[in-house]
Each structure stands twice: as structure tokens, then as C-alpha cells.
Amino acid sequence: MNNSPIVVVGSANLDFVVKTRHLPAPGETVTDGEFSQVFGGKGANSAVAAARAGARVAFVGGVGDDELGRQVHHNLTARGVDAGHLLTLPGVASGTALIMVDDAGENCIAVAPGANRQLTAQHIRDCQTTLADAAMIMLQMEVSPAANREALRIAAAYSRPTMLNYAPFRRDAVEIDDKITWLVVNELEAAELTNCSVSHPEEALSAAKKMVGLGPAWAIVTLGRAGVVAASRESELRIEAFPVQAIDTTAAGDTFCGALAAALQRREEMAQALRFACAAAALATTRMGAQPSIPDRAAIECLLNGSDRV
């Protein structure tokens, strides 16, 4: 196994969560909810997921010079993620997300990216030594496009593998090409990127093949309860989802990516790594909140091995 860390370039948020009976319609007030404040952000969630799945992880991101930023820094460190490149950016707020989750586990999320979006290409260049030594560089779409493009440029210059989770979708923010080793999207993002309908696994596989045609070594489409499909130039895979009682899907995709990265870093075959990631994502939906829901490697392996001790 490569002993270099997985380096996540991404967002870190404080999530303010209200669990309600149903999601409010525009103009409606839904009362009697339960409030919680948890750590989130797609980048930080993926970093914590990779660390809990057994990988060495370093994080590159930005927070504001405020109490939330200090909490984010402390939390990442406490969860075993190297936060030495979590930059404190003056004059901006730390990232926050307002999340509502209903009784069926569906959510809606509004993000105020704050410092996450202020991360510049120069900030990324300042971390070049760390990126050049990464076992893998993981990216999502909650930092500035310039920061993501610079991380991909450095990855290509030093032949580092990359995993881009194209979430949340932003048109033309990052070019899909061969600087991306593993492109991970859900069905909505796959539809946006390919201009094709992606409503069942066969269509998702066609979309994955189309995306591989743009340059990534692998395109992976997550389909929730319908599992995952993946394509490379030589192979096609379909992995079933693990049936669980979902109560909150927040961060399931981030957990999938972090666990997949950890498994790939251990040199697991793609099919085995995808199963590991599917199990991790399934477990994440059985608990409330983003980072509090992320399972560790032992729990993931229990589910994989058919044990109910999760």
C-alpha cells in the first residue's frame, strides 16, 4: 500500500439540521422539528469517510476566522484527518448548510459556501508539495472552479490519480478529461453531464461509457437504492445496493467516495472497492447527520460479511 496520504481538496461546513415530519412547501411553516448541529461539507465528509475506512488523509480547504472555523479545524484533527492545510481566510464566514430531513429520510439543503468558495488557485499552488506526494487527490464541486482546476493541473503534472465527485452539479465548472481517474456522479449529475436520460441502470451504464469517452479512466454512477454502475474502457460493472432502513441520506454520496478511495488505495479490485463503498454509503443512511453517520471500517466489513453487528 502507498503510505502517502489521500489528499482531499474541498469544502468544510457546519450543518444546521432540522428533522421534520415533511419538507415544507414554499411559504409553509412546519413546526415540532428537532434541531442538531453537526460537521459537514462534501470535502470534509469525504475526508472523514476515507479516514474512518482506514486511509491516511490530509485536507486542503478554507474556513473563516471565526468560531465555526476553529471548530471545523478541531473536528477534522480529532477524526484523524491532517488539517495542516486548512487555511483560515480573513474577512469571510466559514461555510454553513441549512438542512431539512423528513420522516422518509429525504432532505433539502441550502449551502452558504463562505470561505470554501474563496479558495483560490494560488492557495492550491501553496500546497503543491503535499498534492505532488498524494496517493490520490479527491475533489468535489463546493470550492471555486479555479481551485479544482489547479488541483487537477498539479495532479497531471505529477502523475497523481484523482477522484472527482461532480457534486453539486455546476455547468462547465470543471472540464471532464483524462486528468480525472475516477469520475463519480449520481444519476442527476450523469444526466446533466451527458445530456441523456439516466433513470435506470442500463441508461446509467450508457452515460458512464459516454463519460469515459471524455477521458476519465472510470466513470461511476451512483443510483441510490438501485446500486451503482461503473465503466472503464475495458469493463462494465453493476453492484447492488445493500438494503437498509434509511432515515437520512445526507452525506451518503460523500461517504461512498471516501470509502471507495480508501479501498482503492489498498489496491482492492474495482468491483470489491465498489461493494465496500456501497456498504459504507448504506450504513451512512441509517443514522442522522453528515459526519456522525459515517461508519468505520469494522462496521462496513460487518455489513459486507453479512453480520448485523453494525
Residues identified as active-site? 254
Q: Which is nearer to ligand RIB, 11 or 181 (CB)?
A: 11
For 98, other C-beta atoms within 10 Å of its C-beta total 13
Distance CA 158, CA 18 (A): 44
Q: Does 189 bind ligand RIB (CB under 6 A)?
A: no
Q: What is the DSSP string of 79-129?
A: TTEEEEEEEEETTSPPEEEEEEE-TTS-EEEEEE-GGGGG--HHHHHHTHH
Among residues 7, 17, 251, 270, the one that binds ligand RIB under rule CB under 6 A: 251
Q: Does 292 bind ligand RIB (CB under 6 A)?
A: no
Distance CA 77, CA 2 (A): 22
* C-alpha cell, 154: 498539479
Which position's Cβ is nearest ligand RIB?
40
Q: What is the CA 240 to chain-centroid distance, rounded? A: 20
Q: Which is nearer to ligand RIB, 54 or 113 (CB)?
A: 113
- Only segment of 235-243, 248-256, 273-281, 292-300 that touches ligand RIB (CB under 6 A): 248-256
Q: Among 73, 95, 91, 92, which residue's Cα sits nearest to residue 142?
A: 95
Q: What is the CA 97 to chain-centroid distance, rounded? A: 15
Q: How far is the CB of 308 from ligand RIB (least distance, A)?
A: 27
Q: Does 13 bind ligand RIB (CB under 6 A)?
A: yes
Q: Does 15 bind ligand RIB (CB under 6 A)?
A: yes
Among residues 5, 7, 19, 45, the one that binds ligand RIB under rule CB under 6 A: 45
Q: Which is nearer to ligand RIB, 42 or 117 (CB)?
A: 42
Q: How far is the CB of 290 from ligand RIB (least distance, A)?
A: 4
Distance CA 289, CA 16 (A): 9
Show contacts with ligand RIB in window 140-179 (CB under 6 A).
142
Q: Does 63 bind ligand RIB (CB under 6 A)?
A: no
Q: Which is nearer to ligand RIB, 251 or 270 (CB)?
A: 251
Q: Does 40 bind ligand RIB (CB under 6 A)?
A: yes
Do 55 and 267 contact (CB within 8 A), yes or no?
no
Do 293 and 250 contact (CB within 8 A), yes or no?
yes
Do 253 and 167 contact (CB within 8 A), yes or no?
yes
- Only segment of 34-42, 179-187, 221-229, 298-306 that touches ligand RIB (CB under 6 A): 34-42
Q: Does 109 bind ligand RIB (CB under 6 A)?
A: yes
Footprint on this chain of ligand RIB (rule: CB under 6 A): 11, 13, 15, 40-42, 45, 97, 109, 111, 142, 250-251, 254, 290
